[in-house]
Amino acid sequence: MSACDHKADIVQVAFTQKHGRKSNQVAEKTTKTQKTLDRRFCVAPMMEWTDRHCRFFHRLLTRRALIYTEMLTTGAVLHGDRQRLLGFDPFEHPVALQLGGSDPKALAQSARISEDFGYDEINLNVGCPSDRVQEGRFGACLMAEPSLVGECVAAMKDAVKIPVTVKCRIGIDGQNPDEALFAFTETIKRAGIAALVVHARKAWLKGLSPRANREVPPLDYGLVRRLKAAHPDLEIVLNGGIATLEQAQAELGAVDGVMMGRAAYQEPWRLLGVDPLLYGAPAPVGSLKEAALALIPYIDRELANGARLHAITRHVLGLFRAVPGARAFRRHLATEAVKRDACAAVIADALALVLDSRSDLAHIAA
């Protein structure tokens, strides 16, 4: 047995003694797909960020949130390594796959393949402003082509039984959002979307980077609230700039759901408050440390399958806030997890640097 195996085992035994169960049983409890999707709180699709390791980690912190994958293009789904691109752990349910494309036939085929993989929802990206995506005639530029988006939705709906949804902006470039967003919604609603996620700012397709396009165009929550008021029968999810769970909770009075992106990824400790605050359900684990310990069996399994430790722990860096040792935790992971042959003992050592805190949930609500 290597030093790595030994150390991770000690942590596993300590966890089992303390909680009376193995940490991977935490994961086993919620592997079933929910029948009806609850979109009250969603974690946004984020390229390079919400990969399957990230989603597994987030699921340890919230059982209820609907979690979105990174965007996958139809080209990748149809011609790429499907198991690598689409495979995911059943523990991630409920999980929505986001597709990028604008060819109804290719989208329908991709949606069917994704449904067979077990995803709970297919979401079409009508919000990404990158040049590459524009060249492919998909993403945010489709805000100018509502009928084509309607055809895409209808084709996907015909192909699958799971819900088909769209994530869009309030408009692009010179469009008047009051007209563009409402007309767009009418068209895709007729095509049969189950829900619409609205990133409440325009995309400026010329001259702004994708990153600036998430900061510079002003947010307009009022418009999204009015859209919901005009479509009481359509599930509307608000996205963009939601920084706290309290803000999410306040918005839920006017819309059906809230989608959090950067705040959820960069400060994942927030997710431990989602189930109690937004769903009135118990938090899945008693502390942030417990969530990180529950990741260890997953890490062992993934490393055995060839993953690198850093690919998993990079998503965990922001787990602790305002706890003595949080900085040392980050530093240890950042320097040690990138080393060749780094194993789960690295995260065990990093956790040992963080003071135990029983008050995680109290400060998460703040």
Distance, C-alpha 278 to centroid of its chain = 17
Among residues 94, 240, 257, 276, the one that binds ligand FMN under rule CB under 6 A: 240
Nearer to ligand FMN, 110 or 125 (CB): 125
Question: Binding-site residue total for ligand FMN (CB under 6 A)?
Answer: 23
Nearer to ligand FMN, 237 or 295 (CB): 237
Nearer to ligand FMN, 104 or 127 (CB): 127
> What SS3 state is found at 236?
strand
Q: Please, which residues have CB within 8 angstroms of residue 26's CB and are 6 or more apart in sequence?
A: 60, 284, 285, 294
Stretch that binds ligand FMN, among 31-39, 40-48, 82-90, 326-334 (CB under 6 A): 40-48
- How does DSSP classify residue 92? G
Q: Closest approach of Cβ 260 to ligand FMN, in Å?
A: 5
Judge contact between 267 and 318, C-beta under 8 A.
yes
Among residues 242, 303, 309, 345, the one that binds ligand FMN under rule CB under 6 A: 242
Judge contact between 95 and 88, C-beta under 8 A.
yes
Residue 107 CA to residue 104 CA, distance in Å, equals 5
Among residues 71, 86, 170, 255, the one that binds ligand FMN under rule CB under 6 A: 71
Residue with token string 């797909």: 33
What number of other Cβ atoms are within 10 A of residue 49's Cβ? 18
Distance, C-alpha 17 to centroid of its chain = 32
Q: Closest approach of Cβ 248 to ligand FMN, in Å?
A: 10
Residue 324 CA to residue 318 CA, distance in Å, equals 14
Query: Taking CB under 6 A as the rule, does residue 319 contact ligand FMN?
Result: no
Query: Taking CB under 6 A as the rule, does residue 136 contact ligand FMN?
Result: no
Q: Closest approach of Cβ 19 to ligand FMN, in Å?
A: 33
Query: Taking CB under 6 A as the rule, does residue 104 contact ligand FMN?
Result: no
163-202 footprint of ligand FMN as x/- string (CB under 6 A) = ----x-------------------------------x---
What number of other Cβ atoms are within 10 A of residue 1's Cβ? 6
Among residues 26, 39, 70, 238, the one that binds ligand FMN under rule CB under 6 A: 70
Q: Closest approach of Cβ 208 to ligand FMN, in Å?
A: 14
Query: Taking CB under 6 A as the rule, does residue 127 contact ligand FMN?
Result: yes
Residue with token string 């309290």: 246
Restricted to residues 250-309, the positions that interact with ligand FMN (CB under 6 A) are 260-263
Q: Which of 10, 1, 2, 105 is nearest to 352 (CA)?
A: 10
The phi and psi torsions of 248 (rounded to 5 degrees) equal -60, -45
Establish how many alpha carbons lie within 13 A of residue 123's alpha carbon, considering only the half-sphere containing its beta carbon: 29
Query: Taking CB under 6 A as the rule, does residue 45 contact ligand FMN?
Result: yes
Among residues 114, 125, 165, 185, the one that binds ligand FMN under rule CB under 6 A: 125
Judge contact between 192 and 164, C-beta under 8 A.
yes
In the chain the first and final C-alpha atoms are separated, in Å, by 44
Query: Taking CB under 6 A as the rule, does residue 121 contact ligand FMN?
Result: no
Is 128 catalytic? The answer is yes
Query: Taking CB under 6 A as the rule, does residue 85 contact ligand FMN?
Result: no
Residue 168 CA to residue 358 CA, distance in Å, equals 40
Q: Closest approach of Cβ 328 to ligand FMN, in Å?
A: 26
The residues of the shown chain that bind ligand FMN, judged by CB under 6 A, are: 44-49, 70-71, 98, 125, 127-128, 167, 199, 214, 239-242, 260-263
Residues identified as active-site: 128
